[in-house]
Amino acid sequence: MTILIALIPMLAWGSIGLVSGKLGGDANQQTLGMTIGAFLFSLLVYIILQPGLTLWIVLIGFLSGMLWTVGQNGQFHGMKYMGISVGLPMSTGMQLFLNTVAGAIFFHEWTKTRDFVVGFLALFFLVFGAYLTAKRDKNDVQPDTDRLYDFSKGFRALIFSTIGYGSYTILIRWAELDPTAIILPQSLGMFIGANLFAFRKIEWNQYVWKNMASGLLWGVGNVCMLLTVQELGLAIGFSLSQMGIIISTLGGIFLLGERKTKKELRWVLWGCLLVIVGGLLLGYLKM
């Protein structure tokens, strides 16, 4: 049952890039709209479940939400510069490496030789699969506005994104708090952080309100991811949640029309297959 819950973030988070891409708006509008939707979702969960809140939960939740904003805003900027089918797989690979190593080494979630051998093999498949989905055909010289806009700017944005996302998940894993209690102060931190990024740089229009839909998707995925990390640990729980790159990558190509050469499409398919194998290996660790 836990494994099934762990796959919900894959579906929810894997669809966020596609939904935000369809809804439109710049990176700041997408981040702000997403945080509003996440706050409304968290408020609804709090009203229904009424979990206990302490000052410590509020503090950790708020701080993790601020860190998340750094990660999400950087990811949106990276996808703007690189395209969803390139930027999101790269972001996923960087996050997988950081969180898996942190869970296995700093939180001692892997204790046996088998854990490290299978775990790092799974991590290799996940990261290499993410790399293949983002790999470009150097022989393709046709100009296309859907190709990479600015790789260096996008990569810098993803570095900041990885630091923010990694700190957000590591902090929650370290605090070991009730997932249903932490999400309300967390969403408040996300909203305030998004406003700081957007200060005097955003136009409040339809794109902000439309992107609330992506916030609802994020909220569902976030609760399930936190529950999974609590049960399976950071190394496995977070890694399974990132298998959504299969959805976002293929969706970016077939739904949003991001062009790929035949060689690149083969790389994408192989990359998706490796991600699936990596996810299955991580599931095997808990058998």
Percent of the chain scoring above 90 in pLDDT:
17
Q: Which two tokens stand for residue 221?
A: 């995925």
163: pLDDT strictly greater than 90: yes
Q: Report yes or no: 211 and 20 within 8 Å, Cβ to Cβ.
A: yes
> Maximum distance among all alpha carbons in the chain?
58
Place of tokens 């297959």: 273
Residue 39's pLDDT is: 93
Confidence band for 287, pLDDT divided at 50, 70 and 90: low
200: left (phi over 0), alpha (psi -120 to 50) or beta: left
Residue 283's pLDDT is: 66
Mean pLDDT for 3-16 is 81
Residues 6+ apart with CB under 8 A from 152: none
- Give the C-alpha distances (Å, rounded to integers) separating 14 from 19, 69, 251: 9, 18, 9
- The segment with the largest mean pLDDT, out of 137-146, 200-209, 231-240, 243-252, is 200-209
For the segment 43-84, what is each residue's pLDDT rounded down to a tens digit? 999 999 888 899 999 999 999 999 988 998 888 888 888 877
How far is the C-alpha of 284 from the C-alpha of 191, rounded, in Å?
37
260: pLDDT strictly greater than 60: yes
Residues 6+ apart with CB under 8 A from 253: 85, 259, 260, 265, 268
> Among 123, 120, 131, 121, which Cα is nearest to 89's?
131
Confidence band for 102, pLDDT divided at 50, 70 and 90: confident
Q: Burial level of 127, CB count in 10 A (0-12/13-18/19+)? A: buried
Collapsed DSSP state (helix, strand, coil) of residue 221: helix
Q: Report yes or no: 274 and 125 within 8 Å, Cβ to Cβ.
A: yes
146: pLDDT strictly greater than 50: no
Q: Which residue has the higher pLDDT, 173 or 282?
A: 173
Q: Which two tokens stand for residue 226?
A: 């936190």
Query: What residue spans define the domains of the chain?
Result: 2-285
How far is the C-alpha of 245 from the C-alpha of 49, rounded, in Å?
31
166: pLDDT strictly greater than 80: yes
For the segment 119-144, what is each residue's pLDDT rounded down to a tens digit? 889 888 888 887 887 777 777 655 44
Confidence band for 1, pLDDT divided at 50, 70 and 90: low
Q: Which residue has the higher pLDDT, 111 or 70?
A: 70
How many Cβ atoms are within 10 Å of 266's Cβ, its own excluded? 14
Q: Between helices 84-101 and 2-23, what is the axis angle to 10°?
A: 150
pTM: 0.77
Collapsed DSSP state (helix, strand, coil) of residue 235: helix
